[in-house]
């Protein structure tokens, strides 16, 4: 189990680094044609990073064969399950709204 936790931490750190690099590419792009679209991309990238960090920190474990949902993380002891689902729904809605604003802008 320890090696799985280490791989999860390494993969999460690696994906966070890639996400930050993509954010920096969006911010420092000097092409004037995409100035307005860049704002939508930046909102999508930042909301995705926040959602990914929250999901990785809470680290929920679901068992579908019986109605069981628990978290073994530190944040799991602070935030109860209904609040997690509310935050989860809010973050997914935020990411979806940013994504669809990018799609709508490109039309």
pLDDT digits (tens, 9 = 90+) for 16-70: 889 999 999 888 888 787 788 888 889 999 999 998 888 777 766 655 566 666 6
Cα 68 from Cα 48, distance rounded (Å): 27
Buried b (16+ CB within 10 A) or exposed e, 72-96: eeeebeebeeeebeeeeeebeebbe
Q: Do the Cβ atoms of 23 and 49 come closer than 8 Å?
A: yes
Question: Is 0.75 topped by the overall pTM?
Answer: no
pLDDT at 94: 93
Is the pLDDT at 6 greater than 80? The verdict is: no
Please choose, from the candidates 22, 75, 10, 30, the residue with its C-alpha nearest in 3D space to the C-alpha of residue 46.
22
């Amino acid at each position: 189990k320890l090696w799985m936790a280490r791989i999860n931490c390494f993969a999460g750190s690696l994906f966070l680094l890639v996400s930050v690099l993509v954010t920096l590419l969006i911010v420092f792009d000097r092409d004037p044609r995409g100035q307005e679209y860049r704002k939508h991309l930046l909102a999508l990238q930042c909301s995705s990073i926040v959602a990914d960090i929250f999901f990785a920190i809470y680290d929920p474990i679901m068992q579908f064969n019986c109605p069981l949902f628990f978290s073994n993380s530190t944040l799991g002891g602070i935030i109860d399950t209904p609040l997690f689902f509310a935050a989860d729904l809010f973050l997914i809605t935020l990411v979806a709204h940013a994504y669809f604003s990018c799609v709508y802008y490109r039309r």
